Structure 1
Amino acid sequence: MADEIEIARERIRRLHDLAREAAGDGNDERAREYVRRARRVAERNRLGLPRRFKRFTCDACDAYLRPSVNARVRLRDGHVVVTCDCGTQARYPYE
């Protein structure tokens, strides 16, 4: 059981890296597919996604977010607001 969970975590990390590379190359659909697969692996194994993965993906359209390319990042009172091109906003606190 523990080995299966480690395999799933490694696969999620690898899919995150592949999504970042695909988004950097301008292949947004492929990056979106990698994000969907990583979320599915996490669901099936009842794992949470790493913080870095959650912060760089859109929950609504599964896009891999790249600031100033397909996402807008703004600082507000005590939190960061990330707005995807689809219009979805995510807020994360900071000190």
Structure 2
Amino acid sequence: MNIAEERIDRLHGLAREAAADGEFDRSREYVRLARRLAERNRCGLPKGLQRSACDACDVYLRPGRNARVRVHRGRVVVRCHDCGATKRHPVD
């Protein structure tokens, strides 16, 4: 694991903590920083961060607080309350 991946993991943890505290603007900044780092260093985001961050507005999604999560036809459907964007991924 290189330095960029370690920093991305740290930013993921900080975004999760900020969202748990209700500071969604701060969590949005952490997600944006993590995405920028992954882009620059050509390393992917961890699957946990990919699935728990909104692609449209970069906010860290917390089910029940700022995201609606449903299971429909073998897929998990996550809808962001901030921007209304929808993500679908297969049930693991």
Residue aligning to 1:66: 62
TM-score by length of 2: 0.95
Which residue identity is paired with 1:55? R
Residue aligning to 2:84: 87
Question: How far did residue 26 of structure 1 move?
Answer: 1.0
Distance 2:74 2:26 in 1: 34
Residue aligning to 1:32: 28
Structure 2 unaligned blocks of 5 or more? none
SS in 1 for 2:89: strand
Q: Alpha-carbon deviations, 1:27-51, whole Å to 9, x = none?
A: 1111000000000000000111110
Task: Tell me how large the CA RMSD over aligned residues is.
Answer: 1.0
Q: Which segments of structure 1 move beyond 4 Å, counting only runs of 4 or more? A: none
TM-score by length of 1: 0.92
Question: How far did residue 21 of structure 1 move?
Answer: 0.5
Count of aligned positions: 91
Which residue identity is paired with 1:80? V
